[in-house]
Structure 1
Amino acid sequence: MGTEPPKPRRRPRADSLRNRELLLDAARAVFSAGGPDASLEAVARKAGVGIGTVYRHFPTREALFQAVYKREVDEMETLARTLSNDPDPVLALRKWMHASIGMVATKRGMLAALSPVLDSSSEFFAGTTASLMRAISGLMESGIAAGRLRDDITPDELMRAFLGICYMREQPGWQETVVRVLDVFIDGLANVEPAPER
């Protein structure tokens, strides 16, 4: 007696996909705001769904965290590819770093709310960090090749400086402060005039 062929997997319904995107958007907003109200219940309320819908899409809090953060990293990689065509590599780097502040805000809020469930995420973070380093490395290499960025700072050093600025003691308006300090830092990286062609 022959075996029956496997049944094709059903594609997710449109409303299910829509709910998942609503939850990811809501989670980003809730966790970016941070504070004691950053909870899964708040995510459900923000998305306009019940808490059961959250758990159907994301069976654990860690699964929601990883989905939100992975989407943000993917967006930053896409942005880096788009900005690689910018004729001003210093402005391209500045735009990418400014956009990264929002990603850090989301991560900070999620780390505070979900820290008890993040013990098994080290491999996940290693992968997302590598993706971000590829993005920033490409932007810096373009700027150095054009003679618009100093070549004595590595992508790793820039990322360490950026995270150090972002993870200073949290206070109201911290993102605006980070933008100002970051702009000063990028101004220091930039060569005012393009290097002469050799």
Structure 2
Amino acid sequence: MTAGKPLRADARRNRDAVLAKARETFDDGTFFELRFDDFARLAGVGTGTLYRHFPTREALAEAVYREEVATLCARARRLQAELPAAEALASFLRDMVGYIDAHQGLARTLSTLMATGTGTLAEGSRELEQAVTDLVTAAVAEGTIRSDVTAGAVMMALHGIGAAHDRPDWRAEADGVITLLLAGLRRSP
């Protein structure tokens, strides 16, 4: 696929169908159990179409990851445009817990793929951190959170929450950690 060249409508539909099926297999834990060619069959496209868009399993996983990161960053920008800064940050952090909860299979798949040393994961992390930086910076400028807060610290808290996803009662604990984090971010009167 040529970078920068827009896809025809049918090619875009085929690519999106393969990505949707890959996302489903992340969530149900079968991404690595399937033969790579099975993604074409499941998406209702030919194997040539699959390989044209995604020459390897890793390329498919990376494409899903890139789309997920883009969606999360767009969500952060939307919240920032629609809400006061502190509310936007709080909403984004709570949404991230929901996202992690809903996409545990994606997290497991990505951790397996990290061993390949791909730069896509690092690039996605930088993009997410920039989205969080923008939210934190706006809340600091608004005067609602402490000025010594960094996006890196907030990202570290999110990574810790995600890393503990296999704990019993994880969701309630994760929501509680976000509540603690938000309380710690508040600027003292």
1:139 aligned counterpart, secondary structure = helix
From the superposition, tell whether residues 45 and 54 of structure 1 become closer, same or farther in structure 2 (CA, over 3 Å).
closer
SS at match of 1:92: helix
SS of residue matched to 2:146: coil
Q: How does 1:153-192 map to 2 (within 5 A)?
A: 153-168=149-164, 170-171=166-167, 174-175=170-171, 177-191=173-187
Q: Which runs of 5+ in 1 are unaligned?
A: 1-9
Show structure 1 runs of 4+ deviating over 4 A.
Answer: none
> Which of 125, 136, 139 is the aligned partner of 1:140?
136
Aligned pairs for 1:114-129 (under 5 A) are 114-115=112-113, 118-121=115-118, 123-129=119-125
Contiguous gaps of at least 5 residues in structure 2 = none
Q: How does 1:1-198 map to 2 (within 5 A)?
A: 12-31=7-26, 33=27, 35=29, 37-39=30-32, 41=34, 44=39, 47-49=42-44, 52=47, 53-101=49-97, 102=99, 105=104, 107-111=106-110, 114-115=112-113, 118-121=115-118, 123-168=119-164, 170-171=166-167, 174-175=170-171, 177-191=173-187
- RMSD of the alignment, in Å? 3.2
Distance 2:159 2:41 in 1: 28
Aligned amino acid, residue 110 of structure 2 = L
Asked if 2 retains the 8 angstrom alpha-carbon contact of 1:144 and 1:151, the reply is yes
Quick one: structure 1 residues 12 and 167, their matched pair in 2 at CA, closer, same or farther if it must change by over 3 Å? same
Change (3 A) 1:173 1:136: same
Percent of residue pairs identical: 28
Matches of 1:11 and 1:185 in 2, distance apart? 42
Give the partner amino acid of 2:137: E
For the pair shown, the structure with the greater C-alpha radius of gyration is: 1
Alignment coverage as a number of residue pairs: 179
Identify the structure with the greater helix proportion: 2
TM-score, structure 1 normalization:
0.73
Q: 1:5: which partner in 2?
A: none
Q: Aligned partner of 1:170: which letter?
A: D
Q: Offset at 1:22?
A: 1.9
Distance 1:182 1:45, change over 3 A: farther
TM-score by length of 2: 0.76
Deviation sequence 1:21-43 (CA, Å, 0-9, x none): 12222322331x254x2337398
Following TM superposition, by how much is the alpha carbon of 1:48 offset from its aligned partner in structure 2, in angstroms? Answer: 3.7
Cα 1:187/1:28, change in 2 over 3 Å:
farther
SS in 2 for 1:85: helix
Does the CA-based 8 Å contact 1:38-1:109 persist in structure 2? Answer: no
Higher mean C-alpha deviation, range 88-97 or range 130-139: 88-97
Q: Distance in 1 between matches of 2:106 and 2:7?
A: 28
